[in-house]
Structure formats: structure tokens, C-alpha cells
Amino acid sequence: MFDTDILLQDSREILGAVPVTLAMAFTTFVLSTIVGSLFALVEYRRIPVLRELVFAYKVVFKGVPMVIVIFLAYFGLPPALQFLLSSAGINFNAHETPNWVILVLAVTGCVAAFQAEIIKGALNAFDIGQSDAAYSLGYTSGQLFRRVLFPQVALTAIPDLTTSMMVIMKALSLGFAIEVVDIFAQSQLTAALNFYYLEAFVIAVVIYMVIAYIVTQIADRLEQALRVRT
């Protein structure tokens, strides 16, 4: 059914998009986890005003389809950035912001809302009596965080954070809408030239599956390594 030559040639082209896709996914993952953690801390510590803002943010970014957020960012982010930078007196042409940066920021914005939920859940699962114990022994809140809270919360959150990594990989394929070439977009382009659509998409599916497998394996190992310690 499939022509081997076509498969080989297409694979080479589509694999070429893997490093870029992974780099964008990893960047998005790191950024969204940082932002999500800050949101989760705001909610966990019940910081007034900020807490309401985070809540509103989550409603918006969980509710609006990601592709719309990407388009909004595509049209809205450069002028907004330009305005901010020039009012801060910085000379920089924001209209030249590369599309992949816009994509990463847009997906980060959406995924951060989900990361916040995951981390909030892990924080709520933390047995607060341990904080009493640490403070009673003279730990500062920073020492409590580093020695006790963070290691436990990270462990609890790992499985769900891994799922987020896959969500991000898939979300990046929406970048096609703003001409960012990831694995999916590359298979589109390749197929558009030689009309072997099925071949190109099957290759893309295989690549996504291999990546999913590797990510899951890494997370499992990491979790096991940490799990022994609790």
C-alpha cells in the first residue's frame, strides 16, 4: 500500500521539524510551569486581589479555544508589546517578533491555567502539620519550602505535569494557523508537494507516539526515583 521511497523521503523531511517542535514544547512547558506555580501559590496563600485575578484568568484561558488565543496573540501581541516598549522608552520593533515566539507565548498562556490547577492540587495534598513541625524547630519559610514542601509537591505533581507536556506538543500543531512549522505543519507541507497525504500523516502519528512514549518513560523513571524517598 505504501511506497517505501516516499515514506523514507517524507520521514526525513518531517523528522527535520522534530528538534524545533521539541524545543518549543520544552520552552512552553518550563514557562507555563513557572507561571502556573506562581498562580497556584497565590491561591494557596489566599493572597487577596491577586487571587481573584488568577481565578478570572483561569476561567478565560480554560474556556476560550486555544486556536483563538493563538490568533489573538498573533494580531494583538506585537502592537501591545510595541506600545509597552515604546512607552518605556525602549526602541525595539515588536512587529518583527517571530511567529514561533508568539505561538509559544499563546500556548504558555493557556497551559499555565492548567498547570496552576495541577500544582494547586499538589499543594493542597501537602500535609500542613509538617509546616508546624518545621516552624517549631526554627525553620524559616524558605527552608521549609526547599527542604520539605517543594520535594513533596513536585513528586505529587509529576504525573499530571507529564500529561501537560503531551497537551503542549499537540497544541503546537495549531501553530499551523500562524505559519509556524512543527511536526504536523511539516507533514502538511510535505504532502502538499507530492500529494501523498496519508503517508505524511501516518509518519507524523508515529513520531508523536514515539515522543509520547519517551516522555512517559522519563516521567515514570523520575517519579520512581523520587517515590522511593517517600
Partner 1 sequence: MLELKDIRLSYGSTQVLNGVNLSVKRGDVASIIGPSGTGKTTLLKCINYLAKPSSGTIAFDQIQMDYQHADKTAIQAIRLRTAMVFQQFNVFKNMTVIQNVMDPLVVVQRKSREEAREIALRELERVGLSSKQDSYPSQLSGGQLQRTGIARALAVRPDVMLFDEPTSSLDPELVGEVLKVIKDVTSSGITSLLVTHEMQFAKSISNRIIFMDRGVVAADGSPTEIFDSPSSLRLAQFLNSEHSLQ
Of 34 and 133, which CB lies nearer to partner 1 in the complex structure?
133
Span from 56-64, 116-124, 126-134, 179-187 in contact with partner 1 (CB under 8 A): 126-134
Q: Does residue number 45 form part of the binding site for partner 1 (CB under 8 A)?
A: no
Q: Does residue number 52 form part of the binding site for partner 1 (CB under 8 A)?
A: no
CB 122 within 8 A of CB 156: yes
List 97, 130, 163, 216, residue binding partner 1 (CB under 8 A): 130
Contacts of 61 (CB under 8 A, 6+ apart): 69, 109, 110, 112, 113
Q: Does residue number 95 form part of the binding site for partner 1 (CB under 8 A)?
A: no
List 3, 52, 127, 179, residue binding partner 1 (CB under 8 A): 127
Q: Does residue number 129 form part of the binding site for partner 1 (CB under 8 A)?
A: yes
Instruction: Report the distance separating Cα 230 and Cα 225, nearest Å.
Output: 10
- Provide the Cα torsion 160, 161, 163, 166; round to 10°: 170
Letters for 150-169 (x = contact with partner 1 by CB under 8 A, - = none) are: -xx--x--------------
Q: Does residue number 145 form part of the binding site for partner 1 (CB under 8 A)?
A: no
Three-state secondary structure of 199-219: HHHHHHHHHHHHHHHHHHHHH
Vertex 84: Cα angle to 82 and 85 (nearest 5) = 65
Instruction: Report the distance separating Cα 200 and Cα 93, nearest Å.
Output: 37
Residues in touch with partner 1 (CB under 8 A) = 127, 129-130, 132-139, 143, 147-148, 151-152, 155, 228-230
